[in-house]
Amino acid sequence: MTLYDVPAPAKLNLFLHVVGRRADGYHLLQTVFRFIDLCDTLHFDLRRDGVISRATELPGVPEEQDLTLRAAHALQRATGTKQGVQISLEKRIPQGGGLGGGSSDAASVLIALNKLWGTCLSRRELMDLALPLGADVPVFVFGQSAFAQGVGEDLTAVTLPEKAYLVAQPDASVPTPRIFSAPDLTRDSSSITMAVFLASPTSRFGRNDLEPVVYRLYPEVLGASRWLAEQGILRGTPVRMSGSGACLFAEFSELSEAVLAEAEISAIMRGADKTFSQTHPRFRLVQACTGLA
């Protein structure tokens, strides 16, 4: 038995503009994906019998929808390899939170099995296998923070300044298709060039066009966002949603600042009187983390 451990990082969308819609209903976006050091860990146990299986159940995710298994099958089909694998997953990235956890897990499966099976596909070929698994999967195969266009597959690497982030998870599960199909979604934001973004302070640039729809449909996300933004420790730092939510984040110059904000906000939440827990929006702090290159 040979076991291999591979990390799969989460992403934040520093901004997300919807600039159009394709005939098939998918939306044309402009966004910057930034990876953060909040990671799931995947364990691979190679099998010689060609079977692809999972050792861990994902609550609410049946086998046929499990992106890790679908990624492994896609690579097996594309290359004709006779090898198999048992995959287990240590989940730390909140599921369905707009942090790309499932997409990142799938990309890590493609990259890792391509090495472990010796199937030798190029990164470009892996990215082509990634796109049918989900619009956010190619950027994780790409492997670095990127300015993304198209539905998320047209990627240009960007070097971002060192920053830290505090991530919070409101108590809401937001299905992405519901947000993209909302009649009131802005679909005609004007396109920008990457240079415009790079010339601006990262946390202050642009907006997430999906926020107004999520805030309307899920008032607990709006409540959490407003409550966080009112805390003195954030000192006017914008609170923004990642992807289609529900996770929120605030950007800091240093990890120590994000850690301090995390400690102070946790203390407020813990120390507040009983009425506070009944009246304040329900959310949890995920963690303070560093932005990756």
Least distance between ligand C5P and beta carbon 182 (Å)? 11
267 to 233, 249, 263: CA distances (angstroms): 12, 18, 6
Q: Which of 26, 53, 116, 125 binds ligand C5P (CB under 6 A)?
A: 26
Distance between CA atoms of residues 31 and 137, nearest Å: 14
Least distance between ligand C5P and beta carbon 212 (Å)? 16
Distance between CA atoms of residues 204 and 197, nearest Å: 10
Catalytic annotation, pick one of 11, 40, 66, 209: 11
Phi-psi region of 177 (alpha: psi -120 to 50; beta: other; left: phi over 0): alpha
In which element (H, E) is residue 155 found? strand 154-157
Nearer to ligand C5P, 15 or 117 (CB): 15
Cross-strand partners of 33: 13, 146
DSSP output for 198-251: HTS-GGGS--BTTHHHHHHH-HHHHHHHHHHHHSGGGTTPPEEE-TTSS-EEEE
Residue 136 designated active-site: yes
Closest CA to 214 of 186, 245, 243: 245
Binding residues for ligand C5P, rule CB under 6 A, total 11
Least distance between ligand C5P and beta carbon 216 (Å)? 18
Least distance between ligand C5P and beta carbon 156 (Å)? 17
Catalytic annotation, pick one of 40, 66, 105, 136: 136
Nearer to ligand C5P, 113 or 210 (CB): 210
The number of beta carbons lying within 10 Å of the beta carbon of residue 188 is 10
The answer to whether 228 touches 248, Cβ cutoff 8 Å, is yes
Each residue 172-191 as x (binds ligand C5P by CB under 6 A) or -, in order, gives ----xx--x-----------
- Residues 233-262, interacting with ligand C5P (CB under 6 A): none
Q: Quick check: 27 binds ligand C5P (CB under 6 A)?
A: yes
Q: Quick check: 101 binds ligand C5P (CB under 6 A)?
A: no
Each residue 124-163 as x (binds ligand C5P by CB under 6 A) or -, in order, gives ----------xxx--------------xx-----------
Nearer to ligand C5P, 95 or 176 (CB): 176
Q: Supply φ then ψ for residue 175, to 5 degrees.
A: -75, 120
Q: Quick check: 211 binds ligand C5P (CB under 6 A)?
A: no
Distance between CA atoms of residues 45 and 210, nearest Å: 39
The pair of three-digit structure tokens given for residue 50, joined into one six-digit string = 């060609």
Nearer to ligand C5P, 83 or 104 (CB): 104
224 to 127, 143, 215, 244, 246: CA distances (angstroms): 35, 31, 10, 15, 10
DSSP output for 172-207: ----HHHHHT-TT----PPP--HHHHHTS-GGGS--
Nearer to ligand C5P, 135 or 239 (CB): 135
Least distance between ligand C5P and beta carbon 151 (Å)? 4
Residue 163 designated active-site: no
Nearer to ligand C5P, 221 or 265 (CB): 221
Q: Report, as residue numbers or ranges, the catalytic residues.
A: 11, 136
Return residues touching ligand C5P (CB under 6 A).
26-27, 29, 134-136, 151-152, 176-177, 180
